Structure 1
Amino acid sequence: MDFPDPGHWPVDPQEDAEIRKDRIWVDGCFDFAHHGHAGALRQARQLGEELWVGLHSDEEILVNKGPTVMTLDERVAAVEACRWVTKSVPHAPYVTALPWISHYGCWYVVHGDDITSDAAGEDCYRFVKSAGRFLVVKRTPGISTTDLVGRMLLCTKTHFIRSLTDEIEGKTDSAPDAKRIAAGAVMLERIKDYATDETALLPGSEVWTWAGSPLAHSKSESSDAGSFKKLVAGNGPRPGQRIVYVDGGFDLFSSGHIEFLKRVYETEKGEAYIVAGVHNDEVINHWKGLNYPIMNIFERGLCVLQCRYVHGVVFGAPFAPTQAYLQAMPMGKVDVVYHGPTTFMPSTSDPYIDAKKMGIFREIENHSYAHVNAAEIVSRIMKGREAFEERQRRKGEKAVGEEAVRQREILE
């Protein structure tokens, strides 16, 4: 079989690893992390004991697909933060070939049930498919990098969710609707899937929703802590374990968010139980305006759940974690609240005033990715708007041919 010559590939200088059928290989662009990527990695991890992830270089993606939004270093950081990933391998070739995956000791290559083609229009997985070393998992519906770029370019708001609890329970402005109830059940099942541990098979993170005044800034604006409702009964904190609280929008879950969470995890020496509060779409749009958030609360919450530095998630967390809210936290007494500098934070109101009065607030200093947030990513898209619009057009044209190939494979 005519395999590409691997001589120019920047593989590790190590000797070829022993090939293991329980070491799974996945590769891709993984341009700004979203829950569709995480969904594929979760399913791949369930098929083996280890999951190795190859990432294509910026240059190869440019030739075969178009410009990347995130740099290779940023994309590697996102992949390595996924709890189901064993190891990342940068500079993986765009067309997957047996010499490459065999070098890293992987037998099977896993990909979604869509077709990915190179610049010439050929299937990127044609070699591993011919060798019988290709496994298919279901593609996550309703999300893709292309879709998210479209939301930015078109400034749409149709993806917003008024209330995650209402969505899960199928509620509308009137009575619950059967179709929405079914859709809500699917959403809840997805949350449970992403709340699994590093094996993607066993219970992992606890998941809660919070109902209260989302924009309240102080005890005077919110007479109580609202109410918590458990969505997923995962693994709670161990007796005596320190409980850490962080919160934010986590929109377009970027290297800035990931590095912040990693710093918190490392500051606590990996021994604390870290709870992440995720704000409602309403809260983010109130403070940032335009069509923010680019991802709705369901999508953002899934991104946070797949992160290895988080152990519990609260959907719908208030903008200001008041003393009443922190003291009512169902995981137990909060020992410390961490946050980093935020450029859009209102100057007239400090959301962390209660935590500071309680003496439990800590700030994480700026880091090399501190500037990388949703606004930065949108700015990158807008600066290269013409190139990204061309990428969207090329993606649409390639999709026609890729779907035709997919249908032929289904019939064979």
Structure 2
Amino acid sequence: MGRTAVVVGGGIGGLAAAIGLRRIGWEVRVVERAFGPDDAGAGISLAANGLRALDALGVGEAVRAASRGQYTGGTRTPGGGWLARMDGAELERAVGTPIMGIPRAALHRLLRAALPAGALLTGCEAGPVTQIGPGTVRVDRGGTPLDADLVVAADGIGSKIRARLFPAHPGPVHSGTAVLRAITAQPLALHTDFELTWGRGSEFGHIAFPDGRAEWHAVLGLPTGTRFADPAAELRRRFHHWHDPIPALLDATRPEDVLHHDVGELRTPLPSYAVGRIALLGDAAHAMTPNLGQGACQALEDAVTLSAALTTEPTVEAALVRYDAERRPRSQAVAKAARQAGRMGHQLAHPLAVALRNTAMRLTPSRTAVRMILRHHAWEPPGLG
């Protein structure tokens, strides 16, 4: 079996794949078109499955040290009433860890630090990927070819490699929502680790970090391409009357730090995550809405599963067949569940539907909620040898 790989995309999934491949003895180069990490002003929640994947990659301890456990909080109404409280301790007893919150930029730094100097090629646009022989795949890098035994396409929701492999696939679609988010410029006296507030057709949430700062996000139903001249002012207008600490989070944010992204997804599932010696990974394979907080965790699962398959199968092609068989059903099921969660969450706008949803949530026992979470969090990584 070959021992060289090119990973296209230096996000969480791409970096994790490179770490996993190196742990099984492969030589890896990561091609990233950006000159630095994207989305530095965002945060991320890592569930047990993502943390177990990071453990398998050898970086779990460092990530936990830079994270804050989500033990307290839950889901609320705009007036401040609780729909469901988070019991992080109960979740920790069930799966061995609470959900952890970390700045996305910190996670990027820790993943990059696990790779040797020179493995990550930034500011490089990857061109077409072609099979040039029975066991060699070529990535065009601005006119300079990179040949390898395996190519991992981790180039995001707008993956050009996916589009070339599956030209008949409709590609990503707009979910009908946009997310605005930022990290506060200074610490706040927050009373919970995590909160999610559902209004009629909108959502606001926050994640607290170890240094007292917090990431917040606002999800709005907006047509694709909608932008505000002053996003911070628009959010204050929409959310100033919502419960504390929402106004305080907005007031603690520099206007220039607010990010605005349309939320897309691969609503039509791919027929395969592998073609020949090319593997699709992360958002390139199964971009999903963020309603379950599983996008990055599923990419991390992909990275470990791919590396493990390459240690047990006799050829790269056989390993990718196994990778596809193990990852496609689970990740596509999680993507479907995330879409359904959005429909029952911030996308609800009719007063009667919202009232019924809120009543059902208040009557759901905590243990039942934990069991529902376990469907996605309870994953054990395969060994990397």
TM-score (norm 1): 0.22
Higher-strand-fraction structure:
2
TM-score (norm 2): 0.23
The structure with higher relative contact order (CA 8 Å, sep 6+) is 2
Asked which structure has the greater CA Rg, the reply is 1
